[in-house]
């Protein structure tokens, strides 16, 4: 008997360029198809950091070179990345299913994700996107466009946007119907296209939602048993990189909180994965989360590796 599984794919499963991505998703597809063959029902979320940055940079560069080329709002850049990554994923998955003589529908849903317009993240945008600029260039663009910029590790100034928490999935009914029908679904790409409610309408906003939190919302939506967060390591470690480094097979919620208080998990790396896993586990009794690598996903679901949070 398999699990109902929501998978959050990290950047290592996608690559940084179109050529890298086409190659990477072939390996990714093999692992996901194997999970389906083992009887698991699968929905997939993914990041889009390099991809949306590439799209945003191309659009900005074109517009600055020739004002006749329209500037592209950031939510639209996110939508473009969802379609582009979704195409590569569903193509690779479809080909892998065909290779194994399995007729399993695969579909990408361009997904809007509702965020709270009063989320504190909007008061302090901190997520860097796009190109590097000199201080003077950043000031000029800020005057023209109203963008906010921050200095980035001595490399120049970059535009920053908010990273609010997901509240709801706009296309949830369609996604739920597709999942119950047995489709393998790619949704919530890049954390989803952030929208707020304004005048009884959904309006896109320039922001980046963490893909692990959005995949957790997708997992709640389809009533998944397990949220699988895939990363570069097979297991979570405490005292990472030190002599007393310890790899963990499982963590309770109390242990998660303890390790967070100790500062065991890096804010820009493992911490959001742990927090997303905890949010899903707390959302309903019996739900579990698993953090592991793409290569070991099937072994981890079988209980042979990975870090389980219950």
Active-site residues, by number, are 11-12, 127, 211, 273
Cβ pair 207, 155 in contact under 8 A: no
Q: Is 181 helix (H, G, I), strand (E, B) or coil?
A: coil
Whole-Å CA distances, 131 to 75, 152, 228 = 17, 11, 32
Whole-Å CA distances, 237 to 94, 121, 240, 252, 290 = 35, 28, 6, 14, 13
Q: Which residues contact 257 (CB under 8 A, 6 or more apart)?
A: none
Overall residue count recorded for the chain in this entry = 310
Q: At 125, phi and psi to the nearest 5?
A: -60, 135
| Rounded CA separation 7/212 (Å) | 9
Q: Cα torsion at 212, 46, 128, 61 (round to 10°)?
A: -170
Name the token pair of 23. Answer: 């190659």
| Rounded CA separation 221/230 (Å) | 19
The residue among 151, 160, 155 whose CA lies nearest residue 128 is 160
15: left (phi > 0), else alpha (psi -120 to 50), else beta? left
Which element (helix H / strand E) includes 179? helix 172-180
């Amino acid at each position: 008997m398999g699990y109902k599984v929501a998978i959050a794919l990290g950047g290592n499963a996608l690559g940084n360029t179109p050529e890298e991505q086409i190659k990477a998703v072939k390996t990714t597809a093999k692992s996901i198809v194997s999970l389906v063959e083992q009887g698991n029902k699968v929905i997939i979320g993914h990041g889009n950091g390099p991809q949306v940055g590439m799209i945003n940079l191309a659009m900005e560069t074109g517009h600055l070179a020739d004002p006749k080329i329209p500037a592209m709002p950031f939510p639209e850049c996110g939508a473009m990345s969802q379609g582009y990554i979704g195409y590569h994923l569903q193509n690779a998955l479809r080909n892998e299913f065909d290779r194994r003589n399995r007729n399993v529908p695969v579909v990408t849903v361009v997904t809007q994700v509702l965020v709270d317009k009063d989320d504190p993240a909007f008061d302090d945008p901190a997520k860097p996107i796009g190109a590097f600029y000199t201080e003077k260039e950043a000031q000029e663009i800020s005057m023209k466009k109203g963008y906010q910029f921050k200095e980035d590790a001595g490399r120049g100034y970059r535009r920053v946007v908010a990273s609010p928490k997901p509240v709801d999935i706009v296309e949830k009914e369609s996604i739920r119907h597709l999942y119950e029908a047995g489709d393998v679904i790619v949704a919530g790409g890049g954390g989803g296209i952030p929208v707020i409610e304004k005048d009884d309408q959904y309006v896109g906003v320039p922001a980046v939602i963490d893909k692990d939190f959005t995949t957790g919302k997708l997992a709640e939506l389809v009533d998944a048993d397990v949220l699988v967060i895939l990363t570069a390591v097979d297991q979570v470690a405490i005292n990472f990189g030190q002599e007393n480094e310890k790899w963990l097979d499982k963590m309770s919620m109390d242990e998660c909180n303890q390790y967070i208080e100790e500062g065991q998990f890096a804010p820009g790396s493992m911490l959001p994965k742990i927090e997303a896993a905890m949010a899903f586990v707390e959302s309903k009794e019996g739900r579990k989360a698993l953090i592991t690598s793409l290569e070991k996903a099937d072994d981890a679901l079988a209980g042979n590796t990975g870090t389980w949070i219950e």
